[in-house]
């Protein structure tokens, strides 16, 4: 088992504000993909769609301002059954966001790609909260060609 | 043992051109840190310095246009003994760059930070090759406060 790990600090933002970007369709649409639908509550399923495909995530845990966890129930074969875990904590006026995409079976090349791509989406989330503007798909940062 | 993995595609660039950014002091200074010194050949040591500290890397392998590997011989305690591995391959007119920072003992919070930070530096390297301009320290992309 190998994991993708990331950490960003969101400046001048409460954990509550960051939590909203992970637990509302509007918030998720602002940094990950314009085409986000579904039910952002425990037991609900969120559908994230991109030009090249998409992911369905079952919401496994949501603890306000602290923790969000999703389980991938549909998407690329390598993603199915993996989990995406978000932990938030305040640090002064800021919020630390810890990210884990866990349960990959093998460190395949696609996992390398997803690791870099997640980093750019976390920077998009940070920008959304700090400036009001993220870079969700299809206006996402390109890390290759196609992405 | 846990690893940091990344992948970027550098557009309209040969593996040789990307290899130069990993094996010359001038190239390394263009995307990682302005303050890069040392000897970029097998058995040599490269010194990378940042406002907050730095790393000394022994060059373990350099195979032109294909592979570069460094071993961390000085720096933060969590980094010492870890290795940084770069693999290049052509893909049409482009170059695929696969990155691994291996040998972390524990998935500590600092490792989460380094994973995201490496992603931004790989994007800096990609930008350096594609546009002539990277974002090395101290002009690096901030992922938190301080970084």
- pLDDT for residue A1: 61
- pLDDT for residue B41: 97
Indicate if the pLDDT at residue B60 is higher than 70: yes
Q: Which residues of A touch B9 (CB under 8 A)?
A: 143-145
* Mean pLDDT value across residues B22-27: 98
> Taking Cα atoms as reference points, which of A131, A146, A126 lies closest to residue A32?
A126
* Mean pLDDT value across residues B94-120: 97
Preceding peptide of B138 cis, ω within 30°: yes
β-partners of residue A104 are: A2
CB B145 within 8 A of CB A11: yes
Indicate if the pLDDT at residue B1 is higher than 70: no
Q: Cβ B4–A115 below 8 Å, yes or no?
A: yes
- pLDDT for residue A108: 96
> Taking Cα atoms as reference points, which of A31, A17, A27 lies closest to residue A119?
A31
Indicate if the pLDDT at residue A55 is higher than 80: yes
Distance of CA A79 to the CA centre of its chain: 13
- pLDDT for residue B22: 98
* Mean pLDDT value across residues B55-69: 98
Mean pLDDT of chain A: 97
* Mean pLDDT value across residues B139-143: 97
Indicate if the pLDDT at residue A111 is higher than 70: yes
> How far apart are alpha carbons A111 and A2 in whole angstroms?
9
> How far apart are alpha carbons B113 and A49 in whole angstroms?
28
> How far apart are alpha carbons A55 and A71 in whole angstroms?
10
* Mean pLDDT value across residues A87-98: 98
- pLDDT for residue A16: 98
pLDDT tier for residue B145 given thresholds of 50, 70 and 90: confident
Mean pLDDT of chain B: 97
Distance of CA A49 to the CA centre of its chain: 13
Radius of gyration for the alpha carbons in chain B, expressed in angstroms and rounded: 14
Q: Say which DSSP state B146 is in.
A: -
* Mean pLDDT value across residues A36-41: 97
* Mean pLDDT value across residues B91-120: 97
Q: Which two tokens stand for residue B65?
A: 């246009």
Phi and psi (nearest 5°) for A127? -65, -40
- pLDDT for residue A146: 77
Q: Cβ A115–B141 below 8 Å, yes or no?
A: no
CB nearest A9 (choices: B98, B123, B143): B143
Flag whether the pTM goes above 0.95.
yes
> In terms of C-beta distances under 8 Å and separation of at least 24 residues, what long-range contacts does B117-120 make, across chains too?
B117/B143, B117/B147, B118/B4, B118/B6, B119/A6, B119/A115, B119/A116, B119/A119, B119/A120, B119/B6, B120/A119, B120/A123
B1, B3, B4, B5, best to mutate vs chain A, most A CBs in 10 Å: B5
Indicate if the pLDDT at residue B126 is higher than 70: yes
Give the strands of the sheet with A45-50, arranged side by side.
A2-10, A94-104, A83-91, A67-74, A53-63, A45-50, A35-38
For A15, B20, B49, B56, B88, the CA distances from B25, given in Å and listed in that order, are 41, 9, 12, 13, 19
CB nearest A107 (choices: B3, B111, B126): B3
Residue A60 makes CB contacts below 8 A (sequence gap 6+) with A42, A69, A70, A71, A83
| Share of residues in chain B with pLDDT > 90 (%) | 96
Strands (DSSP E) found in A12-144: 35-38, 45-50, 53-63, 67-74, 83-91, 94-104
Indicate if the pLDDT at residue B35 is higher than 70: yes
Asked casually if ipTM beats, i.e. exceeds, 0.90, the reply is yes
CB A138 within 8 A of CB A51: yes
Q: Which residues of B touch A101 (CB under 8 A)?
A: none
Q: Which residues of A touch B99 (CB under 8 A)?
A: 112
Indicate if the pLDDT at residue A95 is higher than 70: yes
CB nearest A144 (choices: B9, B107, B116): B9
- pLDDT for residue A36: 98
Phi and psi (nearest 5°) for B121? -70, -35
- pLDDT for residue B146: 77
């Amino acid at each position: 088992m190998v994991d993708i790990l990331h950490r960003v600090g969101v400046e001048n933002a409460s954990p509550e504000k960051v939590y909203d970007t992970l637990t509302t369709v509007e918030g998720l649409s602002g940094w990950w993909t314009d085409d986000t639908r579904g039910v952002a509550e425990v037991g609900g399923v969120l559908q994230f769609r991109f030009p090249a495909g998409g992911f369905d995530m079952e919401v496994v845990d949501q603890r306000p301002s602290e923790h969000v966890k999703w389980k991938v129930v549909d998407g690329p074969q390598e993603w199915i059954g993996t989990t995406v875990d978000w932990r938030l904590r305040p640090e002064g006026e800021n919020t630390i966001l810890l990210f884990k995409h866990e349960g990959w079976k093998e460190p395949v090349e696609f996992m390398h790609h997803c690791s870099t791509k997640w980093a750019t989406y976390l920077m998009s989330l940070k920008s959304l909260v700090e400036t009001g503007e993220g870079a969700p798909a299809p206006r996402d940062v390109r890390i290759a060609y196609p992405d």
